[in-house]
Homo-oligomer: A and B are copies of this chain.
Amino acid sequence: MPIYQKITGEILSELRKIVGSDHVFSGSDVPVEYAYDAGTKDGPSQSPEAVVFPASTGEVAEIVRLANRQLIPVTPRGGGSGLAGGAVPVNGGIVIDLRRMNRIIQINPAARYMVVEAAVRTLTIQQEARKHGLLYAGDPCSSDDCVIAGNVATNAGGNRAVKYGVTADQVYALEVVTPQGEIVTLGGRLKKNATGYGLVRLIIGSEGTLGIITQVTLKLQRLAPLLPNFLATFPNLSTAVNLVGILLDSEIDPISVELMDRQTVTDIERYQRENTFAGHESDCLIIQFEAQDPADLAKKQGRLKEICHSYGCISIEEAEGEKIWQARRIWGKAIQAGNPVGASEDIVVPVDELLTFIEKLQALVNEFHFEYRIAGHAGDGNMHLRILPGAVPLSDWEAQLVVFRQQLYRTAYLLGGRLSGEHGIGLKRKQFLRSVIQPCELELMKAVKKAFDPNLILNPGKIFDVDKDITTEMR
């Protein structure tokens, strides 16, 4: 580990000079929330020595320059809604909370783009686009809590990736503060660009380890006049999953195809005390598509019903959008309410391997006497799983889970899948990443990290442990 320095009184006063004394917390004034993100509340508390709240990119750059000079680790934080511990300051140091940088700088409906500061909420961006008759296509389930820079840092996915791709596909350009405190704009409002390396895509998904995202230029899409939602129910998971590829291949051109197993549906109804699924407590798919007019809607709806019935569905009905998506969003809370002990997964596999993956998952769960729930972005192969102890005594659970996970991840990788579809590696999955990634790929990532951040001050300890390798260099 590099020899990081502690924050002294002198450094604190420099920080206060940069952002103003009202915008620095230190020592016991640091609120407890900064020791966690939404995915690590049950982990060990790891508080920063100071939290600072810059109001501008210039202030962020000044803080980072100071930290880089003094060898103090810096962890950027957006909405704190991350699920992999990306915003947890494992080495103490400074947390940069970006919440004051929450302005929408520009929206150009004609050229269909929006420029926003780091901490604008994703929901706000969606709503602002809609006011102009446009769609911001990024749609992580945490859209009320998360902010755009966090979406970019984890390359967040969400419900509309089937048609519109992930956050990376919505980003034109980024303003970034580098680990050495320089301000750089990467990318542009360009459909083509062959002018040097694609650094903008390198920053996206780098979980705050290569730069702090301070401003984002986002693409906006035409908003389809009609966005109907359908709920299809099935006698078993395989029949539901089997339909996914057929739907994607059809002229329905869905923007979302979400899978939920019957036990999840029951858990949600119990949690909400509402009969959202109206007696259809079966394995189900939620399907959303775009329609240009009522005739287009009728045609696509007809085709959807035809396909569903040909492939063994029990029922297919139009669903109330707000209700069904709210149910989908709270699945994790609903399951945890009834099953406080469990582990979350974010595996992604090629869509055409999804059926095989779920069969192998089922076999593995049986072998370990675990249970599982699934609420997956089936249309893009990204499965959110909640693994539950089932019949296993809690005393054995943790140890067995480690073995189970190794096997689960190996299964996913053998099918061409990956450990994380949209939550990131962060703190939580780095020990697993090491065991499944090609060593050469990991070494290239570490080399890139060192190239960007020679002092390893920016969000250390995330994705991988490059710091271990450079101990001798630092001494």
Q: Are B350 and A195 in contact, CB atoms less than 8 angstroms apart? A: no
Shortest C-beta distance, A159 to chain B (Å), equals 11
Shortest C-beta distance, A160 to chain B (Å), equals 11
Q: How many identical subunits does the complex contain?
A: 2
Q: Which of A190, A249, A382 has the most CB of B within 10 A?
A: A190
Name the residue of chain B whose CB is nearest to the CB of A222: B249
**Chain B residues in 8 Å Cβ range of A424:** 194
12 contacts between A and B (CB under 8 A): A184-B441, A188-B416, A190-B416, A193-B420, A194-B424, A196-B437, A198-B201, A201-B202, A202-B202, A444-B452, A447-B451, A448-B451
Complex partner residue of A192 from B186, B382, B448, CB under 8 angstroms: B382
Q: Are A441 and B196 in contact, CB atoms less than 8 angstroms apart? A: yes
A197-B189 CB under 8 A given contacts A352-B110, A451-B448:
no
- Binary contact track A425-452/B, C-beta < 8 Å → 1, others 0: 1000000010001101110110110111
A350-B111 CB under 8 A given contacts A190-B421, A196-B463, A437-B196:
yes
CA distance A156 to B438 in the complex (A): 28
CA distance A288 to B204 in the complex (A): 33
Name the residue of chain B whose CB is nearest to the CB of A421: B192
Report, nearest first, the 3 A-B pairs whose CB atoms are least far apart: A201-B201, A191-B380, A447-B451
Q: Are A190 and B417 in contact, CB atoms less than 8 angstroms apart? A: yes
Q: Are A192 and B445 in contact, CB atoms less than 8 angstroms apart? A: no
20 new A-B contacts, CB < 8 A, other than A112-B249, A190-B381, are: A155-B193, A161-B192, A162-B191, A184-B441, A186-B441, A190-B350, A190-B380, A191-B380, A192-B348, A194-B420, A195-B433, A195-B437, A196-B205, A196-B425, A196-B442, A197-B463, A198-B202, A198-B206, A450-B451, A451-B451
CB within 8 Å of B: which of A35-59?
none
**Chain B residues in 8 Å Cβ range of A186:** 441
